[in-house]
Chains A and B, each alone.
Chain A
Amino acid sequence: MALKTQESGSPAAIARKHGIRIVGIWFVLSLITDLVVWFVWGPHMPPGTMTTSAAGQQFDFKVLTVMSVPVLFMVWVYGVYVIVKFRDRGDHEDGYYVKGNRKSQALWYAATAVLVLSLAGFGTYELVVPAGAGVGEGPSPIWKPANAKHILQVQVIAQQWRFTYRWPQFGGMETTSLVLPVNTEIQFNVTSLDVIHDFWAYQLGVKADANPEVNNVAYTKTQQTGRFVVRCDELCGIWHGAMYNYGNVVSQNAFYQWATSMQAKNASLTKLLPKYSTVYVPNDNVVGGQYFNG
């Protein structure tokens, strides 16, 4: 088949002509969209800023979106341009015979490598510096909050199909609701009595699997009051979908009042519980999810 070029000029000149148009459109669209993402959309992105880890997740999501937008537009603008410009014109000719281009390939390799490595660096910084970013770190966490003196300990006990909470600093009482003080470092000790669950306090930006006989530690620091939802985020059986409850971040005074009154009210029940421990062994032989110290 005879090759009939649709355009005259050297390949480089043709590439420059089309390339300038594509890059121009791409740059304008990406810039506008990125500004909108950063300034207009960004501050309203979930999960909000109730805790440091939630704020960190919001910030990271925003940064990733700003970096994704140019990539999306590169493919879209290029694709639309090619579809419009390089169509078959009904003459069933073949295209321009080229099997590679050293320069554009090298540029591509370098650009993707730089983008990917900087993302990995950014992600690592955002994981390590804010004490694990609200992610469960297992029984021996390596990224801890700097001010480790005043940490509120909250144990999350998951079982099919509910969450309960134990408070070692309040006599080891167990509650069915989760109330937290504002402006406080919090350590969640997440464990399970049966299968794998996942403690996902959405607005708190905390997520940690609840494994039987494993203590999974996650840190965060509250910075705003408000209501939050706790959902199980790991398939745990039939009623997984109904395994959720709500909690509140309240002022430090209100929290202290709630905790001490609960401690007094629950004192008779707390005596019946097994001693506070990071993990428990479930008792298979008793119906109703009893457990004891391992």
Chain B
Amino acid sequence: MAIDMSQSTGVGQSGGAGGSTAVKWFARGNIVSATVLGAGGWFFGHWWGNVIAGQYTSVQNSGTNDVSWLLGAIFATVAWFIGLGALNHPIAKLWGGEAPLPEKKEKYSIWEYFSYSTDHKVVGIQYLFAMLMYFFVAGLLALGIRTELLSPTYHIWGPDTYIEIVGEHGTMMMMMMTSVIMGPFGNFLVPLMIGSKKMAFPRLEAVSFWFTVPAFFFLLSALWQGGFQSGWTGYAPLSIQGGVGQDAYLFSFALMAMSMLAASTNMVATIINYRAPGMRWSRLSVLAWGMITTAFTMILSVPVLIDGLYVMGMDRAVQTSMLYGQHGGSPFLWENLFWFFGHPEVYLLALPGFAMTTEILPVFARKPIFAFKTSVAGMIGVATLSFFVWQHHLFNSGMNPDMRPLFMLSTELISIPTGFLYLVGMGTVWRGRLRFNVPMLFMLSVFFNFLWGGITGVYNSDVPVDALIHGSFFVMAHFHFTIMGQLMFAVFGAIYYYTPLFFGIKLSEKLGKIHFWTMFIFFNSTFLPLFIVGWLGQPRRVFEYAARLQTLNQWVSISAYGLGLSLAFFVVTFVWQLVVSRPKSEQNPWDSRGLEWLVGIPVPKDNFEQIPVVLSSPYEYGNPNAGPMADLAPSISSVGSDA
């Protein structure tokens, strides 16, 4: 294999001739030139689209020109990447030259976090802040929804604004959740966990992050372009009917899909090829296992989404008719394409959350992971089955009903591998010596929250019961428990757990506990009543509901404000400790055995001076004979001597 593991070729020295000084300052690219060029690209594409399509009858009838919007967005994105310096390397190669990766550093200036960085630790931190930005903006939109639902008739927003907010909240959250673990924690931790100096494709890694930025702004821009009425599911023909806000939806979602593809390809290549000697599959951390199963699921499902969005874009811009009837198309095409991506997607949101939980649980239970192979089998099982369940979103849709029993069966089968993860969690805490630090509290709450989501998932899969609750707030509560209750709680736990490694600070336990308990209580108090609300007949995405449901809805809205305050408390305390007080962390504050903690705080610029030799599993807590997980300064003799 062509992997050079010698000391001199970490990232930063891949270049031959030249060296980093060869790149002129104006060719290096930064966020300012990217923004300027991006704006120029937008105006050029927009103008050109008007030239091309200004005479279309559809444009003249409706007054909106989707061609010019989409061309503007495409040119803006390409110009944005040129401005970031993404094309310097390929262009230099075409010229027969070399644009080497920039030198890695021990400590970066703030400015470099806004650059097209190829250091996996920088990308991880970029991702962390970007995904939190997505989360908090979309969370504010959720408070907008809950404010409207204080009253059974519309009173704050008009119906059009309300539906825009709903769609914006859903799409932004769904885009963010796909990357909220793989982006920050996958990029930052996987090389450390497998004993590598870098990710396999550092430039691909930079691309994957920088797609998420224009995706965010394009999606947000829909709000002042009339929004999109179709929600995050974008069902045709409604999505064909909408204005240019719908183009913003499909374009930003497609950018995020590109980002997922880039990130997951990189993840698979890294985990397969860049494991240190001795890092057998049985010693691979659960988080890395979660990343590789998730990445495979993404690689297989995301192209279907891109395809569907492309078809939607064509239907809207150049009047093909693939997604609506009358000229040969069918709305069922979009429903199938979308959910063929959409259902694997929701599991690829859940898997990293479980991987993170299983990763952190043994550290605080002081025990090995119980039934390690079962946890891996559970993740692979969930990932595989996730491709065979998508029609359970379409039980009422009017498709051929023959397959309903089959999809009911496959959907219920998926609770077997999901159950494995409970077996692993429950076995791991059995006779442990549980330490209730803040990360542990979050991880335990993951099991509590996901239980509601998992149990109600069985209700959704049962066709007769689904006939009652499909499309109601019951379903909405169900997936908020599985996604927010599971994934986001795991993310916050991981933030508390990994800040020492990421930033060299250890967040206050006291403030963290206040954040945890308020978030946990208000989260459950927000979403548990919504099961009842939906069960009593309130459909999703409505601004008017039955007056008898007002008390419950008001309870939910007030709890949602509490949840918002709890998250605001996190933001304030997190930023305060990060910027102002900076409570310094000791080395390995949680007594973890993991390789990622052995390199020390702060993490050295190349992670490992030498490629380490892995000697045992990261989870040998309580084993009196266990040595350290890896030899960080291996000599030739230590290579063959692993336990």
Residues of A within 8 A of B (CB): 1-3, 6, 14, 46-47, 53, 56-57, 60-61, 64, 68, 71-72, 75, 78-79, 82-83, 86-89, 92-101, 104-105, 108-109, 112-113, 116-117, 119-120, 122-124, 126-128, 130, 132-143, 190, 194-196, 198, 200, 202, 205-209, 211-216, 229, 231-242, 244, 281
Contacts and interface: CB of A to CB of B under 8 A. Distances in A.
B408 A2 contact: no
Nearest to A128: B405
Nearest to B229: A237
B370 A100 contact: yes
Contacts of A96: 367, 430-432, 622
Contacts of B564: none
Given A56-B464, A57-B467, A130-B464, 20 more contacts: A53-B464, A72-B455, A82-B429, A98-B368, A99-B372, A120-B405, A123-B463, A123-B464, A124-B408, A124-B409, A127-B408, A195-B235, A200-B471, A205-B467, A211-B331, A232-B539, A236-B238, A237-B241, A238-B159, A238-B163
Contact of A135 (B154, B431, B463, B624): B463
Given A213-B325, A241-B154, A235 B540 contact: yes
A113 B470 CA distance: 25
B436 interface: yes
23 contacts: A6-B433, A61-B459, A61-B468, A68-B458, A83-B434, A86-B431, A86-B433, A93-B366, A93-B433, A94-B367, A95-B366, A96-B430, A96-B622, A97-B621, A99-B372, A116-B415, A120-B405, A123-B465, A126-B463, A127-B463, A212-B324, A235-B540, A242-B159
Contacts of B366: 88, 93-95
Contacts of B229: 235, 237-238
A116 B411 CA distance: 10
A95 B365 contact: yes
B51 interface: no
Interface in B191-232: 229-231
Given A93-B366, A211-B331, A1 B455 contact: no
Nearest to B369: A99
Interface string B152-163: 001000011011
B586 to A, nearest CB: 14
Q: Which of A99, A109, A202, A215 has the most CB of B within 10 A?
A: A99
B162 A136 contact: no
B326 A241 contact: no
Contact of B368 (A92, A97, A116): A97
Interface stretch (B71-79, B86-94, B116-124, B394-402): B394-402
A211 to B, nearest CB: 5
Nearest to A69: B455
Contacts of A119: 412, 458, 462
B126 interface: no
Closest 8 CB pairs of A and B: A216-B398, A241-B542, A95-B432, A94-B622, A97-B622, A133-B464, A95-B367, A96-B431
Nearest to B395: A135
B448 interface: yes
B164 to A, nearest CB: 9
A47 to B, nearest CB: 6
Nearest to B397: A209
A57 B412 contact: no
B371 interface: yes
B163 A237 contact: yes
B237 interface: yes
B109 interface: no
A133 to B, nearest CB: 4
B53 interface: no
Contacts of B459: 61, 64
A196 B401 contact: no
A88 B159 contact: no
Interface string B415-444: 110011011001101111111100000001
Nearest to A135: B467
B233 interface: yes
B463 A133 contact: yes
A263 to B, nearest CB: 29
A112 B426 CA distance: 15
Contact of B235 (A86, A94, A232, A235): A235
Nearest to A121: B409
Nearest to B240: A195
Contacts of B233: 235
B638 to A, nearest CB: 23
A120 B324 CA distance: 34
A75 B451 CA distance: 8
B565 interface: no
A98 B427 CA distance: 9
A214 B433 contact: no
B535 interface: yes
B433 A87 contact: yes
B427 A101 contact: yes
B136 to A, nearest CB: 25
Contacts of B400: 138, 140
B472 interface: yes
A138 B233 CA distance: 21
B537 interface: yes
A234 B234 CA distance: 11
Given A95-B431, A119-B412, A75 B447 contact: yes
A112 B371 contact: no
B320 interface: no
A195 B231 CA distance: 14
A213 B326 contact: yes
Contacts of B374: 100, 105
Contact of B464 (A78, A127, A232, A235): A127
B623 interface: yes
B241 A126 contact: no
A241 B537 contact: no
Contact of B536 (A46, A71, A195, A241): A46
A136 B404 CA distance: 11
A196 B154 contact: no
A190 to B, nearest CB: 8
A200 B539 contact: yes
Interface in B438-489: 444, 447-448, 451, 455, 458-459, 461-468, 470-472
A236 B326 CA distance: 19
Q: Which of B372, B467, B539 has the most CB of A within 10 A?
A: B467
Contacts of A232: 539
A195 B413 CA distance: 33
A75 B367 contact: no
Contacts of B545: 241
Nearest to B371: A100
A194 B240 CA distance: 11
Contact of A234 (B163, B462, B464, B471): B471
Contacts of A46: 468, 535-537
A75 B401 contact: no
A98 B396 contact: no
B238 A75 contact: no
Q: Which of A6, A214, A234 has the most CB of B within 10 A?
A: A234
